[in-house]
Structure 1
Amino acid sequence: MQTTALRYFLAVARDGTIAAASARLNVAPSAISRQIANLEAELACLLFERRPRGMVLSQAGELLARHARQVLASAEQVVTEIRELEGLWRGLVRVATTEAFAIDLVPSVIAGFHARHPGIRFELSVLPPSQVTQRVIQGEADLGLTFCLDPSADTAVAYRNSLDMVALCAPDHPLAGQTVIGLSDIAAHPVALLPRDTTLRTILDAACRAEGIAIEPAFTSNALSALLPFVRLTRGLTLMSSIALPDHVGRGEFVALPIRSRRSLARGIEVQTMRDRPLPRAVQAFLTALVAALPRVGE
């Protein structure tokens, strides 16, 4: 099987139609159709179920998709290793992460790594947690840093830990001088929160139910960066991971307050890689730097 055919096949599997794959790859639809037809003829089976709203992988297609991702990842690995023979001078590191880690933490690690290895290029994608994992599984990201309610079974996990939430407020907020606050303290002030379909809200809402406390957000947004001006300009609060904004807190722009609750407010985080894929040298080196910037397990 040619890698071109596999690449076209995976594009259709991801986008659901030949037209969408054609637009993404900038390749004529007829060329993509021909390559898929050749694959189906070679394997003597249908790889897609043709439905009114698009194309869905058949059982055989699912098997081929897993194989194709490994084949393409291995091909990229060989090219990368050849380019890296003279040292850690060249390479591409593709990182997918949730927004909480994309504001301060990951860009800071990238900047530090770039200062030591200026020939390494980076691509950073900011996505919801489940999409981070999918990018890694599909080989579209080398590394994924994401929240997870349950340990991932479909990726290799390079780092796993559990981190508490904190309340974030402006330095002049009435609660800013407290060493620890409760959920009832949070409920007494305007709150800006992520939507209910996020890991943060799932855990927070369960903790509030356990204490019979209702926290009704004054402002809801699916972008963490949109919540920060609200907190900065009002006597409001928001909640996030304890390591989400180290630079902002370190500069004194915000105060991070530990929260006391009957039910744990901790969320699992993972650094994920594709299973059974040897990492390119640049990716492995950056992975080491990224894990070193995260809290040690048990802290």
Structure 2
Amino acid sequence: MNLEQLRGFAEVAQSGHFTRAAERLHLAQPSLSRQIAGLERELGVELFHRLRGNVTLTRAGERLLPIARRMLADAEAAREEMAELAGLRRGRVRLGATPTLCTSLVSEVLAEYRARHPGIEIEILERGSRSLISALTEGALDLALIVTSVSSGAARAALESEAILGERLVVVSSVAAPDPFGSGGDGEVPPGAPEAPAPALGGPRAGAVVRAEVGARALPGAVGLRELAGVPQVRFPENYDLRVAVDAAFAAAGLTPSVAVEGAEMDAALSFAERGIGVAVVPAMVAAERPLLRARPIADGLRRTISLARRADMSPTHASAALQALIRETADRLAASGSPVAHLVERA
């Protein structure tokens, strides 16, 4: 039994005539007759009384008709549902991202995605990179933005990962307090240092001062690791990807950083830095969103690579494929010459 047989059966029942039903279905009358005969053989019952060209339903046909109509309606609803998904009018996408990316790159991406595809539901999982990799391998996410390489052999086999953006790490301090690295508290920079307001991702925003071009190792106004280690810092929890990277840099240089506050989450760390409690090492795009903070590049070239990962054995849905393309598009736009944050990031 197939949908074409059921459609032919319902049309004959509606019109009471094989020839008229065949015309409405754009079929030859013998073809329609063969469809109905095949359906009757399969079900083992006669569906119509055939009398001199006119047909009426048998008792079995009367029982089948409402079932056939429901099945045809369900099939049409399924077609419409799939068409909506294919046209990105409905659906859901599950995106994982680290907390620092949720406040910068992800917010930029999702604002554009919602404008383009308002019918798509977005589910966000905000975790560290290792947790996101686990969620991907378990099938709990469609995509994830991570800042840790996929290191285990099992994860590498299960996931596809591509680097999309490189981002400088900067050290931030309060604009209301004297600069702990030498310049005044009014946002001045040493002679020769390029000074510009660090804008929000979507446009200009006055406040923080960024003194670096991406890719430079030692620039005017930049802070060396040894200098940074001597200033009290607001430190993230030990399981933070950012904390792990910074600790590794200090350890490689044989340095032990001075600590003001230990274990602060990102929002708290930024707030503490704004109040002058200590300095914090944060991603450059996060610093660009905080007008009460001044930002200096780290002379030793500390940076992180942002990667987009997904399950290798799962075909992307239309919704997740569109989001994946928009993430790449946004990364290209942010790193392009003339972008408000082009001096903070580079295309990986």
Q: Which runs of 5+ in 2 are unaligned?
A: 1-77, 182-186, 190-220, 336-345
Shift of 1:125: 1.1
Pair member with larger Rg: 2
Question: 1:244–1:155: structure 2 CA closer, same or farther, 3 Å change rule?
Answer: farther
Residue 267 of structure 1 pairs with residue 267 of structure 2: no
Asked if the contact 1:149/1:199 (under 8 Å) is kept, the reply is no
Query: Could you tell me which residue of structure 2 aligns to residue 256 of structure 1?
Result: 295
| 2:196 equivalent to 1:157 | no
CA positional deviation for 1:184? 2.9
Q: Is the 8 A contact 1:150 1:268 kept in 2?
A: no
Q: What is the CA–CA distance in structure 1 between the aligned matches of 2:115 and 2:320, rounded to whole Å?
A: 16
The 3 A distance-change label for structure 1 pair 206 and 161 is same
For residue 290 of structure 1, the aligned residue among 327, 332, 340 is 327
Normalising by the residue count of structure 2, what TM-score does the alignment of the two structures yield? 0.55
Q: What residue number does 1:231 align with? A: 273
Tell me how far 1:204 sits from its aligned partner: 1.8
Q: Alignment partner for residue 213 of structure 1, among 239, 252, 255?
A: 255
Comparing 104-113 with 121-130, which one deviates more in the overlay? 104-113
Match of 2:92 in 1: 92
- Opposite residue 269 of structure 1, the aligned amino acid is I
* Cα 1:158/1:82, change in 2 over 3 Å: farther
Question: Is residue 2:208 matched to residue 1:171?
Answer: no
Alignment CA distance shift 1:122-1:191 (3 Å): same
Q: 2:315 aligns with which of 261, 270, 278?
A: 278
1:66-114 residue CA offsets vs partner (Å, 9 max, x unmatched):
xxxxxxxxxxxx9998153562211212111111111232123212221
Aligned equivalent of 1:194? 236
Does residue 120 (structure 1) correspond to residue 162 (structure 2)? The answer is no
Residue matched to 1:141? 141
Q: Does the Cα contact within 8 Å between 1:196 and 1:202 map onto a contact in 2?
A: yes
Q: Extract unaligned runs of 5+ from structure 1.
A: 1-77
CA distance in 2, matches of 1:282, 1:100: 24
CA RMSD of aligned residues (A): 2.8
Contact 1:189/1:235 (8 A) holds in 2: no
CA distance in 1, matches of 2:126, 2:277: 28
For these two proteins, the number of residue pairs brought into alignment is: 217
- Relative to 1, partners in 2 of residues 1:161 and 1:108: Cα closer, same or farther, differing over 3 Å? closer
Change (3 A) 1:245 1:109: farther
The CA deviation at 1:164 is: 3.1
Distance in 2 of aligned mates of 1:245 and 1:79: 48
TM score, norm. by length of structure 1: 0.63
1:101 is matched with 101
Note the alpha carbon deviations across 1:268-296, whole angstroms, 9 max, x for none: 33111111222111111111112222365
- 1:149 Cα offset (Å): 4.2
